[in-house]
């Protein structure tokens, strides 16, 4: 019994200390971003977020990018991975290696090699920030791969596909009407992760000179710290809500498995 | 290289073979399905990587040379590597210790509880998506006009910046890095702690063991390999990190990622165009060593466990 009390005390101490350590910057951000003139409180930093055209434009860019990157990731990854499980097990290791490779190559290194590549991309496709979709799809690969792989491992893909094929379904129908609905929870998970990652990405966008949310926030910080801090706080809270929602998505999957 | 996008778009219709059973050797058509993915990854991941790795061995005219690599071991570049490694090692150790404690504190609680959910989601945010916002969180807290700075100056009489502008140098980076290292530890280490079975603790207790004997002979040995693995991962993570440092440090390049920024944004000395690539190669080597050691470690462990 004594050790249980000790455990509870120790646990409370750890949670209190680290809790304060991590919450203090959040409080500081809220305090800093509501400072007015002469020690008063003001919401000016918050209201001027919406008025800042550069920031809004960058936000739109980032939101669009988060969608295009998630879509490209799904289009490339899901059919390939399902097909590899069904017909091309030889490629399993290669594809896994390629998908996890970005973990070993820091983004700051990748961007060194991407700079000359993007000179070509921008020459052929224009210099829209949306061309970052290609780079971001690479960045989200490791996370997306794991999520989709777990989803595919949890269903009996071979049997499902054979049943559908014997009933005359085309491979496209198998993919669209059998695979996708069965692993939709994994796909939602992969998409949410990539949205969060794209909205927070700074390294590649800033060094390839594209105007995204984080690049603007950083730039803005040089002349108006209050607004930058307000947007930063919003970013952190938004990412938190996304990941918090994700924890329920994961749980629903666990429950369905139990029910089955 | 630009044909990639159209190929990727044409995928579902073009390359779906209509015949052929599920068994047997895959036909040529079956291989075609993997082409869009491989072409894309080849163009946007393998090609840039190869460009960096080979470029590190070329001079400005494209001829083979070791000069870039030997420069890595001299002057400011070498100092940056040493500082980067120190910073990464120090924050990895701090992150691993406090992260492990925090992980334990949430692992012994309710697995579906609010506390655990909040800590795990919050850790995910800080560990993976912190970046620039984290730098601003620090300016708001301990920057020149930060909440804590002002509080200490006005009420306690301590000037945080009496010595130097430490926040924008290595001590500041160390402090800021713990804010994504501790959370990363939570994410990486939680599965290992969840793997400890309550029966082991009960067996220990029924044999007359104490909390100490449990951790000394059961929990400790089981958790050591995942702990060391997480430590290496944290090291690699801090070593690769760029965004937070870039937003915080706008002058000077104390660490390798910021040195690379210098090469990309034009502070290039003539004849050293490929030195940035050599720095990239150096980073990849350091990260690969950390990850390689981790893989060997986990293989070893897999052998024992069996």
Q: How far is B107 from chain A (nearest CA, A)?
A: 10
Residue identified by tokens 């067996």 is B203
Residue B192 domain flag: yes
Does B2 score more than 60 pLDDT? no
Residue A130: give the domain boundaries: 51-259
Contact yes or no for B51 and A200 at CB 8 A = no
Number of domains observed in the structure of chain B: 2
Which residue carries 């927070």 as its tokens?
Answer: A200
From chain B, pick out residues whose CB is under 8 angstroms from the CB of A14.
101-102, 104-105
Considering Cα of B78, then B80, then B83, then B89, what sign does the dihedral take?
A: negative
Closest of A21, A51, A158, A114 to residue B102, by C-alpha:
A21
pLDDT value of position B184: 94
Answer yes or no: do B83 and B144 share one domain: yes
Asked whether residue A212 is assigned to any structural domain, the reply reads yes
A172: CATH: 1.10.3720.10
Helices H, strands E: what count in chain B? 17, 0
- A22 within a domain of the structure (yes/no): no
The pLDDT assigned to A256 comes to 53
| Cα–Cα dist A225/A30, whole Å | 12
Pair (B46, B84) in one structural domain: no
Predicted pLDDT of residue A59: 92
Position A178 pLDDT exceeds 70:
yes
Residues B28 and B167 in one domain: no
3-class SS letters over A192-255: HHHHHHHHHCCHHHHHCCCCCHHHHHHHHHCCCHHHHHHHHHHHHHHHHHHHHHHHHHHHHHHH
Q: Judge if B28 and B105 occupy the same domain.
A: no
CB burial of residue B268 (10 Å; 0-12, 13-18, 19+): middle
Q: Tell whether B296 is covered by a domain.
A: yes
Mark B54-85 as b/e (b = at least 16 C-beta within 10 Å).
Answer: ebbbbeeeeeebeebeebbeeeebeebbebbb
* Same domain? B51 vs B152: no
- Does the distance separating the beta carbons of B109 and A104 come in below 8 Å? no
In a domain, B284, yes or no: yes
Residue B68 belongs to some domain of the structure: no
- B191-224 pLDDT, tens digit per residue, is 888 888 888 888 888 898 888 888 888 888 888 8
For A41, phi then psi, to 5°, come to -100, 140
| Closest to A211 measured CA to CA, from A47, A52, A29 | A52
Task: Kindly state the average pLDDT of the residues A115-130.
Answer: 91
Spell out the long-range contacts of A158-167 with Cβ–Cβ below 8 A and sequence spacing 24 or more.
A158/A85, A158/A86, A158/B22, A161/A86, A161/B22, A162/B22, A165/B22
Q: What angle do CA B272, B276, B278 make, to 5 degrees?
A: 95
Q: Give the tens place of pLDDT for each residue, B66-98.
A: 888 888 888 888 999 999 999 999 999 999 999
Please check whether residues B250 and B292 belong to one and the same domain: yes
CATH number, domain of B298, equals 1.10.3720.10
Full-model pTM? 0.86
Q: Measured between alpha carbons, how far is B293 from A241 in angstroms, rounded to an integer?
A: 36
Using an 8 Å CB-CB cutoff, list chain A residues near B211. 3, 6-7
Range of the domain at B103: 73-305
Same domain for B38 and B90?
no
pLDDT band at B267 (very low <50, low <70, confident <90, very high): low
Are the C-beta atoms of B229 and B300 separated by less than 8 Å? no
CB contacts, 8 Å: A32 with chain B = 139-140, 145-147
Q: Give yes or no: residues B38 and B174 share one domain.
A: no
Query: Do B242 and A107 meet the contact criterion of CB atoms below 8 Å apart?
Result: yes
- Output the average pLDDT for chain A: 89
Residues of chain B contacting residue A228, judged by C-beta atoms under 8 Å apart: 136
- The answer to whether position B278 is within a domain reads yes
Q: For residue A11, is it within any domain?
A: no
pLDDT band at B20 (very low <50, low <70, confident <90, very high): very low
- Does one domain contain both B28 and B84? no
Nearest residue on chain B to A77, judged by CA atoms? B37
Q: How far is CA A253 from CA A183, A194, A256, B55, in A?
A: 10, 19, 5, 46
Residue in B with minimal Cα distance to A194 = B129
B5 vs A contacts (CB less than 8 Å): 125, 134
Is A41 inside any structural domain? no
A106, A109, A170 member nearest B16 (Cβ): A170
Q: Is residue B109 part of a domain?
A: yes
Query: Which residues of chain A are within 8 Å of residue B33 when distances are taken between CB atoms?
Result: 79-80, 83, 87-88
Q: Mean of the pLDDT values across residues A135-154? A: 93
What value does the mean pLDDT of chain B take? 84
pLDDT digits (tens, 9 = 90+) for A219-239: 988 888 888 999 999 989 988
**Digit-coded pLDDT (tens) for B58-74:** 887 878 888 888 888 88
| Same domain as B116, residue B257 | yes
Does residue A79 or residue B166 have the better pLDDT?
A: A79
- Can you read off the two tokens belonging to residue A160? 């499902």
Specify the DSSP class assigned to residue A12: H
Least confident of B31-40, B73-82, B178-187, B266-275: B266-275
Asked if the structure places residue B66 within a domain, the reply is no
CB pairs under 8 A between A and B: 274
Evaluate if residue A143 carries a pLDDT over 70: yes
Residue A31 included in any domain = no
Shared domain for B78 and B50, answered yes or no, is: no
- Residue A3 within any structural domain of the chain: no
Residue B106 in domain: yes
Q: Does A88 touch chain B (CB under 8 A)?
A: yes
Chain A 93-132, residues with CB within 8 Å of chain B CB atoms: 95, 98-99, 101-117, 120-121, 124-125
The structural domain count of chain A equals: 1
Q: Is residue A40 part of a domain?
A: no
Any domain includes A232:
yes
Q: Verify whether the Cβ–Cβ distance A203 to B33 is below 8 Å.
A: no
Residues B35 and B88 in one domain: no
Helix (H, G, I), strand (E, B) or coil at A42: coil
Q: CA-to-CA distance for A162 and A169, rounded, in angstroms?
A: 9
């Amino acid at each position: 019994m004594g050790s249980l009390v000790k455990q509870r005390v120790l646990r409370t101490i750890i949670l209190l200390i680290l809790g304060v350590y991590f919450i203090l910057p959040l409080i500081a951000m809220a305090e800093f971003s509501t400072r007015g003139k002469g020690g008063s409180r003001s919401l000016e930093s918050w209201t001027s977020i919406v008025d800042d055209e550069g920031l809004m434009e960058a936000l739109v860019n980032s939101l669009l990018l988060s969608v295009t990157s998630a879509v490209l990731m799904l289009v490339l990854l899901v059919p390939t991975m399902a097909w590899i499980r069904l017909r091309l097990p030889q490629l399993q290791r290669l594809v896994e290696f390629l998908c996890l490779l970005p973990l070993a190559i820091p983004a700051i290194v990748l961007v060194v090699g991407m700079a000359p590549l993007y000179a070509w991309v921008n020459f052929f496709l224009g210099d829209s920030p949306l061309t970052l979709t290609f780079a971001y799809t690479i960045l989200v690969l490791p996370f997306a791969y794991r999520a989709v792989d777990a989803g595919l491992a949890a269903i009996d893909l071979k049997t499902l596909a054979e049943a559908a094929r014997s009933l005359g379904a085309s491979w496209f129908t198998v993919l669209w009407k059998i695979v996708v609905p069965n692993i939709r929870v994994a796909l939602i998970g992969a998409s949410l992760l990539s949205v969060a990652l794209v909205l927070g990405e700074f390294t590649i966008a800033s060094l390839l000179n594209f105007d995204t949310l984080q690049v603007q926030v950083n730039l803005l910080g040089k002349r108006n710290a209050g607004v930058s801090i307000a947007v930063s706080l919003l970013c952190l809270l938004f990412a938190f809500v996304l990941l918090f929602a994700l924890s329920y998505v994961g749980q629903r999957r666990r429950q369905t498995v139990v029910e089955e | 290289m630009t044909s990639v996008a159209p190929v990727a778009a044409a995928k579902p219709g073009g390359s779906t073979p209509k015949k052929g059973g599920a068994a047997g050797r895959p036909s040529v058509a079956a291989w075609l399905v993997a082409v869009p993915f491989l072409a894309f990854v080849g163009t946007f991941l393998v090609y840039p990587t190869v460009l960096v790795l080979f470029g590190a061995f070329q001079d400005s005219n494209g001829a083979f040379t070791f000069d870039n690599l030997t420069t890595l071991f001299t002057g400011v570049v070498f100092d940056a590597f040493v500082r980067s490694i120190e910073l990464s090692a120090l924050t990895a150790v701090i992150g691993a210790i406090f992260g492990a404690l925090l992980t334990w504190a949430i692992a012994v609680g309710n697995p579906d509880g609010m506390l655990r959910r909040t800590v795990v989601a919050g850790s995910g945010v800080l560990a993976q998506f912190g970046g620039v916002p984290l730098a601003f969180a620090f300016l708001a807290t301990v920057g020149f006009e930060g909440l804590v700075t002002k509080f200490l100056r006005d009420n306690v009489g301590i000037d945080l910046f009496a010595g130097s502008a430490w926040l924008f140098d290595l001590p500041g980076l160390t402090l800021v890095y713990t804010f994504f290292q501790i959370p990363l530890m939570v994410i990486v280490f939680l599965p290992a702690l969840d793997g400890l079975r309550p029966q082991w603790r009960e067996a220990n207790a029924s044999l007359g063991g104490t909390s100490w004997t449990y951790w000394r002979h059961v929990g400790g040995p089981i958790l050591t390999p995942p702990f060391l693995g997480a430590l290496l991962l944290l090291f690699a993570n801090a070593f690769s990190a760029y965004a937070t440092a870039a937003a915080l440090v706008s002058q000077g390049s104390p660490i390798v990622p910021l040195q690379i920024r210098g090469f990309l944004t034009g502070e290039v000395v003539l004849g050293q165009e490929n030195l940035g690539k050599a720095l990239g190669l150096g980073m990849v080597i350091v990260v690969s060593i950390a990850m390689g050691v981790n893989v060997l470690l986990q293989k070893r462990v897999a052998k024992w466990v069996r």
